[in-house]
Structure 1
Amino acid sequence: MDKLYHTALDDSHGAKYAILPGDPGRVEAIAKYLDDPKEIGHNREYLTYLGKLEGENVLVMSTGMGGPSTAIGVEELYMTGVRNFVRVGTCGAMKLDIVGGDVIIATGAIKLDGTPDEYVPKEFPAVADFDLTEKLVKASRDLGYTTHTGIVECKDSFYGQHNPDRMPVGYMLKNKWEAYKMANCLASEMESSTLFTLGSVLRARTACVLSVVWNQERQKAGMSNPENHDVDSAIKVAIEGIRQDILNNK
């Protein structure tokens, strides 16, 4: 096949698995956990490395921030033969018992973002693949990380969350935020619901592991609020979860 327009990839990579950070700056750091990693593409926000894990080809590709670029990246990876997608990223926690440095593995997402609306009706849920998610949970606990599982909020506007009073619809953003907290939402990020929705539509397996940066609700409550900008824990969980999936399917 010809190289695709956005990702500049074709199907010669032979990978069925892809690890998806948002930030291109994290791609090489993730690829170092693979055997024989090498860059195979870089176009727009899509930086791609190819390596091996337990003898299986695995891609690491950045998606950029938000749903639209994530959807394009996942669509084109699927066209080239990828069938298993694991997002590795960061989030801000909402529950008071979650602190910076904890690991969150999302089982589903609130579709506050707009991209899924161009794939499915609004009431259609955004849910991770159970089997792949279960492997991430086991990997995280085996690695000794404080691990949380549950629903995350997926939004389009970073500053809508952090400065809602400046927004004409700030009243709505704040009311929804409080409702999500009451419904036991764990954290907020920007790509998971698009990934999960595409998984359902494409019949692909999707999962998401997040490293918690901080917790604005703990800060508002006057509680200790350590910040953590090291995503190594989420990376290791993704690598070990995929490793176990590969071994179990051999």
Structure 2
Amino acid sequence: MKRAWYTGHSADELGSSAILVGDPERVGRIGALLQDPVFLPVKRGLATVTGTWNGKKVSIAAFGMGAPIATIVLHEFADLGIKRFVRIGTAMYFPPASGGDFLISDDALVFDGTSPAYGVPMGERVAADTSLADRLAASATAAGETPTRGLYATYDAFYRDMFGIDAKGNARAAQMRRDMAAKGVVAVDMETSALLAAGRDLGVAVATLCYGTVDALSQEKLGAEALESGELTMFKLALDAITAD
């Protein structure tokens, strides 16, 4: 039986679609929403649960942080036959998005080091799967939400490119915010462009749904209560979208 190198899973342990999350603790929280959840053995901290939602078998897998490991999980799952992926998580947002908005990727700018290995050079755009992005938007609208769709940008060095905790980081991240605001970016994260690039290269559908939690311009963070309620909504929106016919 074929098993993936890093996650250790086989095709019969996985669903027909997958949701990719950063925080491993989210695997347990989403698993609690599923029917008949099966928590698979954890290797290298890569937690996975497979269960049923809307009558469809779906897997939720954690990758931790960053494009390299996120694409490893996607690539292994794609090699095992999964054809549809949604990456969910939190993200910095730019106007016109507001805190608590759901942010859907139409495309993403590549500033990560993984995308070029999948055929998309640094600084270029890579598109999300339109049908899957549409499903995410429809899921959000049906739940009474007004999602923001648009351009993401993805970086590797969080404390240099995205959020400063020292003088060098503050200056570099401030320049990034000015540049991305000028380009009309709605969200920045550490995975989306690489996942979209890998999806295009591997022939699988990929899109991102994030919850806007940090104002990229003011650095103001969403409160804990709003984060908790929004996270639960995000889980259900992604599950509905990825299991829709």
Same fold, TM-score > 0.5, yes or no = yes
The answer to whether the aligner puts 1:109 opposite 2:108 as a matched pair is yes
1:216 deviates by 3.7
Corresponding residue number in structure 1 for 2:66: 66
Give the Cα–Cα distance (whole angstroms) in 2 for the partners of residues 241 and 218 of structure 1: 32
Corresponding residue number in structure 2 for 1:130: 130
Corresponding residue number in structure 2 for 1:56: 56
Q: In structure 2, do the counterparts of structure 1 residues 117 and 98 end up closer, same or farther at CA, with 3 Å as the change threshold?
A: same
Runs of at least 5 residues in structure 2 that lack an aligned partner in the other structure: none
Runs of at least 5 residues in structure 1 that lack an aligned partner in the other structure: none
1:78 deviates by 1.0
Give the Cα–Cα distance (whole angstroms) in 2 for the partners of residues 121 and 242 of structure 1: 25
Which digits, 9 at most, give the CA deviation of each residue in 1:186-224, with x for residues without a partner? 11111111110111000000111001112142458xxxx
SS in 1 for 2:42: strand
1:177 deviates by 2.8
In structure 1, what residue type is equivalent to 2:53?
L
Q: In structure 2, do the counterparts of structure 1 residues 14 and 92 end up closer, same or farther at CA, with 3 Å as the change threshold?
A: closer
The within-5 A match list for 1:115-154 is 115-122=114-121, 125-154=125-154
SS in 2 for 1:163: coil
Give the Cα–Cα distance (whole angstroms) in 2 for the partners of residues 182 and 124 of structure 1: 16
Corresponding residue number in structure 1 for 2:98: 99
The within-5 A match list for 1:207-222 is 207-218=207-218
Give the Cα–Cα distance (whole angstroms) in 2 for the partners of residues 208 and 121 of structure 1: 18
In structure 1, what residue type is equivalent to 2:167?
R
Give the Cα–Cα distance (whole angstroms) in 2 for the partners of residues 166 and 188 of structure 1: 21
Corresponding residue number in structure 2 for 1:17: 17
Residue 33 of structure 1 contacts residue 239 of structure 1 at CA under 8 Å; is this kept in 2?
A: no
Percent identity at matched positions?
Answer: 26
Corresponding residue number in structure 1 for 2:227: 229
1:150 deviates by 0.3
SS in 2 for 1:85: strand
Give the Cα–Cα distance (whole angstroms) in 2 for the partners of residues 226 and 86 of structure 1: 23
Corresponding residue number in structure 2 for 1:163: 164
Residue 7 of structure 1 contacts residue 46 of structure 1 at CA under 8 Å; is this kept in 2?
A: yes
Give the Cα–Cα distance (whole angstroms) in 2 for the partners of residues 113 and 47 of structure 1: 24
Q: TM-score, normalised by structure 2?
A: 0.89
1:104 deviates by 0.6
1:51 deviates by 0.4
